[in-house]
Structure formats: C-alpha cells, structure tokens
C-alpha cells in the first residue's frame, strides 16, 4: 500500500474571475514507503499548496488524498494522533512561531503534548539535544522569535518537527534561509533522521544540489501540474521538460548531457 496518494487533486483560490487562481490542476501522485521525493518547480507552480494538501493542513477543492490507504481525519483526536506521524515543515518559519513564546517553550509544548519525556530533567535534555542537532545553543532556546534570525527560526521549526520522528515528513524549502555550511548540516540531519524503509520524506526546494543525493525521485511542477517525474539521477541527466533543463543547467552550471558524462566517467 502506498504511503501517500493524491488522485485528481485540484485547488482553486479566490472567488471572482479576477482573483481566481488554479493553484493545483489535477495532480495525481503516489509516494511509497521508504521513498524520498524532491518537489521542484518555478515560483507559484503549486509546490507549497501540494505539500499542505498532502499533509492535511488544507483540504483540496476537488480530488482525494489517502495516507496509508485512508483519508486524513480533519479534526478531533484522530487528527491529533495522525499529526504526530505526519508533519509539515512550512515554508515561512516565522509565521509558524508564536511571538510571545521562547524557543524552548515551543519545543516543550510538543514534548508535553505527546508525552515524550517522563520528567523535567529528561524534558530539558530532549530540548537541549534537539536544539543542538540543528546547530543551535541553549541560549537560543531562551530567546523569542524576534530575537533570532530567519535561519535560526527555521532551524527551531525543523527541530520541532523532528522531535516526533514522523513517519511522513514534508519539508517546504527548509534550508532557504540558511548559509551554505548550516544548510549542509541540516541536509545531513534530514538525510539521517528522515529516510528509512518505513518513512516518507519529501522536500520542496529550488536547490537541485540538495535533491541530488537526498531524493530518490523528483517531480517537477509548472502551473499547478506535474510536468515531469522520475528517478533523480535520470531526471538530472536527461530532463525532458524545458524548465527542468534550465534548472539543471543553472544549478550545476553545465548542461544535463555534460553532467551525465561527468557522472559516468566518475
Ligand atoms: N491562500 C491563498 N490564497 C490565494 N492564492 C493563493 C494562496 N496560496 C497560494 N496561492 C496562489 O496559488 C499559486 C500556487 O502557490 P504556491 O504557494 O503553492 O506556489 P509555490 O510553488 O510554493 O511557489 P514558491 O516557490 O514561490 O514558494 C500561486 O499563484 C499563489 O499566488
Ligand atoms: Mg512555496
């Protein structure tokens, strides 16, 4: 059974003719357990909308989403339990944080809500460890969102999602605000913690260097549709769609066929 399935998913925003946006236009997608998926595509192509719909944050206008063969509950206890296994790291980290609450408290809420630590000492250790894993010090934990940079906030959101070791994790541009070294560290962390035979990891990114090595399969989106999909290696070395070709050329500063030749030789 597939871990995540989307059938004929369509999402329309706005009402009047002028504001109407078809953000997703008939998306079909199946993600198997153990698979890691890269979602790429130009700005406004529907990547974040797809990530929100596949994780049940948002309901589609049309179509169905199944997780482990079943529709997602929309509220109540069943929804809370399911949330634990299904996490979205949202694109705009700042908006996901409460301005009045320290970073430690953000993490503590998850620890308490899901009974992850038996006592206060264990809770403290768990929070310190999870900050450390994303390269933050204890002092960052005592700060409120506005006292931290965008990249530091982004890392707290990642730490919070990883606390639950979700079976299915969608990360929407999780490294966009990070410098190159921290980006590497976070990608390595995601690689180690989010991939496994029973897990699904999906990342939305503009950075093809990240998906190369991290994702088994790529989908390329344009105007609310999946225009290309395939194993990462094949798609990078032999892209069919013009947009994918441009993306590969820009990311690796070489043409797809030259990239393929270098890889074959190496
Ligand atoms: N809540 C909303 N209300 C109205 N329009 C929306 C809403 N969310 C997204 N859209 C529109 O839907 C389209 C797809 O947006 P989405 O955020 O999914 O794109 P994206 O591929 O994630 O882009 P980016 O790479 O810039 O993050 C865009 O045209 C966007 O303006
Ligand atoms: Mg987006």
Q: What is the pTM of this model?
A: 0.92
- Ligand 1 midpoint to CA 44 (Å): 5
Pair of tokens at residue 199: 């897990």
pLDDT at position 233? 92
In the chain, where the domains are located: 4-265
- Interval 188-236: pLDDT, tens: 899 888 888 889 999 999 888 889 889 999 999 999 999 999 999 999 9
Confirm if 154 and 174 have CB atoms less than 8 A apart: yes
* Residue pointed to by tokens 């979700």: 166
CB-ligand 1 contact for 47 (6 Å cutoff): yes
| Index of the ligand 1 atom closest to the CA of residue 24 | 14
* CA atoms within 13 Å, Cβ hemisphere of 101: 14
Tell me which residue has its CA closest to atom 26 in ligand 1: 43
Tell me which residue has its CA closest to atom 19 in ligand 1: 44
CB-ligand 1 contact for 161 (6 Å cutoff): no
Lowest mean pLDDT among 27-31, 98-102, 166-170, 174-178: 174-178
CATH number given to 4-265 = 3.40.50.300
| Index of the ligand 1 atom closest to the CA of residue 50 | 18
| Index of the ligand 1 atom closest to the CA of residue 221 | 21
Confirm if 217 and 206 have CB atoms less than 8 A apart: no
- Ligand 2 midpoint to CA 45 (Å): 8
């Amino acid at each position: 059974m597939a871990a995540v399935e989307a059938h004929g998913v369509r999402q329309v925003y706005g009402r009047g003719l002028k504001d109407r946006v078809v953000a997703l236009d008939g998306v079909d997608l199946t993600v198997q357990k153990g698979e890691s998926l890269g979602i790429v595509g130009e700005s406004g192509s529907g990547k974040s909308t797809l990530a929100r719909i596949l994780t049940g944050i948002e309901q589609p206008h049309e179509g169905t989403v199944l997780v482990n063969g079943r529709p997602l509950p929309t509220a109540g206890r069943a929804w809370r339990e399911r949330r634990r296994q299904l996490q979205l790291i949202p694109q705009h980290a700042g908006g996901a944080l409460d301005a009045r609450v320290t970073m430690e408290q953000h993490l503590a809420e998850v620890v308490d809500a899901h009974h992850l630590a038996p006592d206060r000492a264990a809770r403290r250790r768990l929070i310190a460890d999870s900050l450390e894993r994303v390269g933050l010090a204890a002092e960052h934990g005592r700060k409120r969102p506005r006292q931290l940079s965008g990249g530091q906030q982004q890392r707290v959101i990642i730490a919070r999602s990883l606390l639950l070791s979700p079976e299915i994790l969608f990360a929407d541009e999780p490294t966009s605000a990070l410098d190159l070294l921290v980006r590497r560290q976070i990608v390595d962390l995601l690689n180690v913690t989010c991939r496994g035979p029973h897990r699904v990891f999906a990342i939305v990114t503009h950075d093809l260097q990240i998906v190369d090595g991290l994702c088994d399969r790529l989908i390329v989106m344009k105007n609310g549709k999946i225009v290309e999909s395939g194993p990462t290696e094949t798609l990078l070395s032999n892209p069919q769609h013009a947009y994918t070709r441009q993306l590969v050329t820009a990311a690796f500063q070489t043409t797809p066929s030259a990239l393929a030749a270098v890889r074959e030789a190496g």
